[in-house]
Amino acid sequence: MELLRDSIPMVSLAAAAAALYARMASSHLRPGLPRLVALLPLFPFPAAAPLALTSSVIVRATAAFFLAWLCAFKLALLAAGRGPLDPALPVLPFLITALLPVKLRGAAGAAALTKASKPVSLVSCAAKVAVIAAILSIYPYNSRLHPYARRAVYGVHIYCFLDLFFPCIAAAAGALGMETEPQFDRPYLASSLRDFWGRRWNLMVSAILRPSVYDPVRARAGSPAGVLATFLVSGLMHEGMVYYLSLRRPDGGMTAFFLLHGACCVAEGWCARRWAARGWPSPPRAVATVLVAVFVAGTSFWLFFPPLCKDGGEEKLLEEWAAVAAFFLDAGRKINGIVRSTD
């Protein structure tokens, strides 16, 4: 009943219909202005659709990430004849690529259906489920933790949740015969900020921002400007995610966080080139990895998490995760009762 009240089925059907229209229109129009004009009526939908999901902050934020961010950028790239969407894709791969955070490997068309995705590691999934379960058991005592300790727990929770959720989506696509690219590549092993953001963390976002922001700006103003523009856009989109989470006006903290990291990536690249030119040895990878982790954690505690936690946002999210934990505990008890009754 909650799902029906929350309009999830209607939003899903409307999103699928919009994606089918985008495929049909783009298959008959060349990239550029004609295709853009045909797709323009669709752009308000991804921004407005998550607001129909009123009963759950987590569901609304997830839908906003899928639709208001990724899907909107994919439509813009489709209008230009770039990006992961291609009207030559069969209907089901097109829908999955448009509406979910996945990117199919290889070229469009039949190549997207030739191989199954790499199997999801059951050990890795089990470990992340165990970590999330442990974190959920900590949340009732959250008020006793130091604020930085709480935010460290939130960071681990976000990573484990995303790196469990996205592979499950990829596994579902793989079951339908589609090979997808990975979303994360062990970000805790990053040896630089550029390595963390460009090659390890949330690779779907990187794959969208690179052709839509970085490449055009770099071609006109150089690589440093492209990096800063990419991080600025990412910060603004994260401000949007804060709005969908809290339904309040963002305060700029997310933009500051990503601009800081963008500036540090530019400075890091400059220093790395000068370091190499002088023939100095690189720092040990273990040391670099620790420094990256400390910097990402410290700046997250300072700028990333406060916008999510203020004005009751932290309490609301904890309430929902407590409800998720209670749901799975109740389901586990019911399954256990059924198993015992059949013995």
What count of other Cβ atoms lies within 10 Å of the Cβ of residue 271?
10
Q: Cα separation of 180 and 104, whole Å?
A: 4
- Residue 170: what are its φ and ψ, rounded to 5°? -65, -40
pLDDT score for 64: 95
In Å, how far are 119, 233, 240 from 171, measured between CA atoms? 7, 30, 29
pLDDT score for 281: 81
Q: Cα separation of 23 and 15, whole Å?
A: 12
> HEC string of the chain?
CHHHHCCHHHHHHHHHHHHHHHHHHHHHCCCCHHHHHHHHHHCHHHHHHHHHCCCCHHHHHHHHHHHHHHHHHHHHHHHCCCCCCCCCCCHHHHHHHHHCCCCECCCCHHHHHCCCCCCCCHHHHHHHHHHHHHHHHHHHHHHHCCHHHHHHHHHHHHHHHHHHHHHHHHHHHHHCCCCECCCCCCHHHCCCHHHHHHHHCCHHHHHHHHHHHHHHHHHHHCHHHHHHHHHHHHHHHHHHHHHHHHCCCCCCHHHHHHHHHHHHHHHHHHHHHHHHHCCCCCCCHHHHHHHHHHHHHHHHHHHHHHHHHCCCHHHHHHHHHHHHHHHHHHHHHHHHHHHHHHC
Judge whether 84 and 97 are in contact, CB under 8 Å.
Answer: yes
Query: What kind and span of H or E run contains 23?
Result: helix 8-28
Helices then strands, counting H and E runs in the chain, come out as 17, 0
pLDDT score for 254: 95
pLDDT score for 250: 87
Q: Cα separation of 282 and 277, whole Å?
A: 12
57 HSE (CA, 13 A, CB side)? 22
Could you identify the residue written with the tokens 């899928």?
A: 66
Q: Cα separation of 85 and 76, whole Å?
A: 10
pLDDT score for 276: 84
pLDDT score for 342: 66
Give the predicted TM-score (pTM) of the model: 0.87
Q: For the chain, which ranges sit under pLDDT 70?
A: 1-6, 106-121, 328, 331-332, 334-343
